[in-house]
Structure 1
Amino acid sequence: MTDLSLKVGVYRYEHTEPMFDGRVPIDGVDATLVTSPLISDVFCEMAKRELDIAEFGLTYFLRTFDLDDSPFLALPIFPNRNFRHSALFVNVDSGIEKPEDLAGKTVGEFALWGSDPGVWMKGVLAEDHQVTPDQISWVIGGTDHPIPAFDWIPQPVPGGVEVRHTEGGETLGAMLEDGEIDALLSVDVPQALIDGSPKIRRLFPDYRSTEQDYYRRTGIFPMMHAVAIRRELVGEPGLVRSVYRAFSRAKDLVQQQYRAGAAKQHMSVITPWFSGLFSDNRALLGEDWWPYGVDANRKAVDTFLRYHHEQGLSKRLLTSDDIFVPALLDT
C-alpha cells in the first residue's frame, strides 16, 4: 500500500522535534513537514488550504468552523499551551492596581481581537473579576513590530465592543510605555519591559503563584493551539489515529527525557535550579504534565469554547464532541 503524501505544518518545538529529525514517523504517511519562525504563517497556510494537517490556533480554527463549508476538524493534540495571567502588562501610571481596574481603560491586544491568550484571559477576567470585554476599549496590533490586520481569517466583533487596529508604524509596546494605552494583553513580552523600563509592569507581579493557584482551583492548563485536519482526509483508513500516535510518541519521548534527567539534576539543561522547578511542576501537574487526548483536556477545551461563544467569536456554543474527529473521541 502506498503511503499518503501529505503536507504537515507545525512549529519546531522540543516536543515535535522527534518528528522533524525522523525519530518518529507518521505511519502510513509520506509527510512533508513544514514550519515557520512565525506560527501565524502556518495558520495562514492552513486557512488558505495549502496544508493538509497543521497546528492551528484554537480561535483561528473555530472561526473557520463557523463557515458554511467548514473545511477542518480538530485532533486532540495541543502543541502549544501556556498559563496566561503572565500575559497582562500595565503602564505604571494607568491607575491599574488590580484586574477590576481594567474596566473603563484602553487595552492593547496582540494580533487580533480574540487571540488565543486573549480569549482565555477575557474569560478569566469576566469569571473571576467581573470585567467584561465591553467595559474596555481595545487596540489591536503588534507588540514590538507593526503588523497588519489578518485579512485571511474572519474578524467577528460583537456589538457594543469598541475595537480599532493600530495605524502606520504604531506598536502596542511603545504605546504602553508612552501611556497611550493603559494595558496590554500579549503573547510577547514587551521589549521595553525586558530592557528594564520603569514604565511597564505585569498586572500580576507574582504570576507564577497566581497561575499555580488557578490550576489548583480549576484543573485547567490552557491550550492555545490544536492540530487541524482537512475534512476530506478524516475518512482515510487509520490516518487520524496514526497522526495522533506520532505526535503523542514525540511528546512522550521528550517528557521521558526530562523524567530521566531528574536523576542527574538535569545536567543537559543550562537553566540553574531547573530540577527544583521540574519537581514542583511534576508534583502539581502530574506525570503527564502536557496531556493530549479528549478526556484529559475536555474541561479546558469546553471552557475555551464557552469563552469563545460568550465573547461573540462563535455563532453557537460548541463542545469537544463537536470539534474533534469522531474516531479520536475515545482518547
Structure 2
Amino acid sequence: MKLRVACYAYEHTEALLDGRVPIDGVDATFETAPLVSDIFRCAVEGRYDVAEYGLTYFLRTFDLEDSPFLALPIFPNRNFRHSAVFVNTSAGIEKPQDLAGKTIGEFAMFGHDPGVWIKGIFSDEYGLTPDRSRWVIGGTDHPIPAFDWVPQPVPQGVDVRHVAEGETLGAMLESGEIDALISVDVPRSLLGGSTKIARLFPDCETVERDYYRRTGIFPAMHIVAVPRELATRTDLMTSLYRAFCEAKEITQQKYRDGALKQHMGVVTPWFSKHFEENRVLLGEDWWPYGLGANRTVLDTFLRYHHEQGLSERLLGSEDIIVPALLDT
C-alpha cells in the first residue's frame, strides 16, 4: 500500500525519514517541512495520508459536521510549558495571578498547544482563567497571518484580537505594549540579552520538574492523525504504530548506550548528569507512546480544551484514538 506520511524531522523520527525503519506492508513516502505548522495545513488540505498534527488543530476538527481524523497514540512533540511564558520586566508580574487584568500575547492563535496547557495549569493551580486577561494573537519575531485554515473559536467573554499587519509580539513585549507572552518560540531579544523581557518562572526547570513529580504529566503537544477511512484497517494501524515506536526506541537506546561513555558524542557539557537526572525522574521510557502511559496527559488536555471554549463537548481518549490501538 502506498502512503504519504509527514512529520517533523525530530531525532526520534529520523529513522523513519531516512528509511532505516520500514512500515510493514507499506510503500511509504516520507515528507517533512521547515515549519511544523506547514505539515498541519497540508494535512487539512488532504495532501498526506498520515501526518503529525498539533493537538488543538486536530481537536478543532471534531466540531465539524464530519470530522475527518482519528489519532494514533504517538506523541512526537512534547514539552513542559512553564518555560513558555515571558513577561515585560516593568509590568509588575511576579506570579501567575499577576496576569489578571493584563494584556497577553499568544503565538499563532488563541489556544495554540502550549497556550492550552499553560492556561489550564494556571486555572487549576492558581485560579487564573483566560477571561481575566486580554489576548493579542500574532507571530513572536516574524509577522504571521491568521491561521484561517483551522477553526478559530473564541469563547464568549474573552477579549481576543489579532496584531496589526507587520507587528510582532516580541517587539510589543519589549516595548511594553503587551505585558506578557505565551509562545512556543523564545523571543530573540531575550536570547540576545535584553533586560526588558524575562521568563515568568526564572527557574522554570525546577518548577517543571516539581509539576511532573506532582502530576505525572509530561505535556504532549502533537499526535499523529489518520483519516477515518484508514483508521478501520487494524493491521495498517498496528504497523504504523510499531514503526514510530521503533524509530523512537532507536534514539532512546542511543542515549542509554551513550551513558556508558559519558555521552562523548554529544557537544553539550554535563549532559550525562542531566540525562541521569531525567532518567531517575522520568524512567527508562521517558518519552512514552501508547494510550496506557498517556491517558492522564491526553484526558487533561481534552479537559483544558473544553474548559477554554475550544471544544464544544468534553471528549475522552476513546473518542479520538484509533480503536485498534486503545489497548496500547
TM-score range, shorter chain: over 0.9
* Shift in alpha-carbon separation, 1:237–1:329, aligned structure 2, 3 A: closer
Structure 2 runs not aligned, ≥5 long: none
Q: Distance in 1 between matches of 2:137 and 2:171?
A: 13
Instruction: Select 1:42's aligned residue among 15, 34, 39.
Output: 39
Q: Distance in 2 between matches of 1:240 and 1:68?
A: 25
Q: Distance in 1 between matches of 2:204 and 2:118?
A: 13
Q: Distance in 2 between matches of 1:37 and 1:199?
A: 30
Instruction: Select 2:217's aligned residue among 208, 216, 220.
Output: 220
Where do 1:12-27 residues align within 5 Å? 12-27=9-24
The answer on 1:163 being equivalent to 2:199 is: no
| Contact 2:234 2:324 survives alignment (8 Å) | no
The answer on 1:264 being equivalent to 2:261 is: yes
In the other structure, the counterpart of 1:311 is 308
Number of residue equivalences: 328
The answer on 1:149 being equivalent to 2:146 is: yes
The answer on 1:236 being equivalent to 2:233 is: yes
The answer on 1:279 being equivalent to 2:276 is: yes
Superimposed CA distance per residue, residues 51-94 of structure 1 (whole angstroms, 9 cap, x where no aligned partner):
11100000000001221110000000000000000000000000
SS at match of 1:295: coil
Q: Distance in 2 between matches of 1:26 and 1:54?
A: 14
| Structure 1 length-normalised TM | 0.98
In the other structure, the counterpart of 1:63 is 60
C-alpha displacement at 1:235, in angstroms? 2.1
Q: Distance in 1 between matches of 2:103 and 2:248?
A: 39
Q: Distance in 1 between matches of 2:21 and 2:261?
A: 26
SS at match of 2:293: helix
Q: Distance in 1 between matches of 2:233 and 2:297?
A: 29
In the other structure, the counterpart of 1:125 is 122
Superimposed CA distance per residue, residues 263-322 of structure 1 (whole angstroms, 9 cap, x where no aligned partner):
000011000000000000000000000000000000000000000000000010011111
In the other structure, the counterpart of 1:51 is 48
SS at match of 2:294: helix
| Structure 2 length-normalised TM | 0.99
Tell me which amino acid in the other structure corresponds to 2:301.
F
C-alpha displacement at 1:237, in angstroms? 4.6
C-alpha displacement at 1:20, in angstroms? 1.1
C-alpha displacement at 1:236, in angstroms? 2.6
In the other structure, the counterpart of 2:190 is 193
Q: Distance in 2 between matches of 1:16 and 1:66?
A: 30
Q: Distance in 2 between matches of 1:167 and 1:234?
A: 41
Q: Distance in 1 between matches of 2:46 and 2:66?
A: 13
Q: Distance in 1 between matches of 2:152 and 2:165?
A: 20
Q: Distance in 1 between matches of 2:147 and 2:234?
A: 35
| Contact 2:61 2:68 survives alignment (8 Å) | yes
The answer on 1:116 being equivalent to 2:98 is: no
Instruction: Select 1:178's aligned residue among 172, 175, 178.
Output: 175
In the other structure, the counterpart of 2:323 is 326
Instruction: Select 1:33's aligned residue among 17, 30, 33.
Output: 30
Q: Distance in 2 between matches of 1:222 and 1:63?
A: 18
SS at match of 1:134: helix
RMSD over equivalenced CA pairs, Å:
0.6
Q: Distance in 2 between matches of 1:230 and 1:8?
A: 12
| Contact 2:96 2:122 survives alignment (8 Å) | yes
Q: Percent identity at matched positions?
A: 69
The answer on 1:298 being equivalent to 2:295 is: yes
The answer on 1:76 being equivalent to 2:62 is: no
Q: Distance in 2 between matches of 1:210 and 1:85?
A: 7
Q: Distance in 1 between matches of 2:244 and 2:292?
A: 17
| Contact 2:298 2:317 survives alignment (8 Å) | yes
Q: Distance in 1 between matches of 2:30 and 2:62?
A: 24
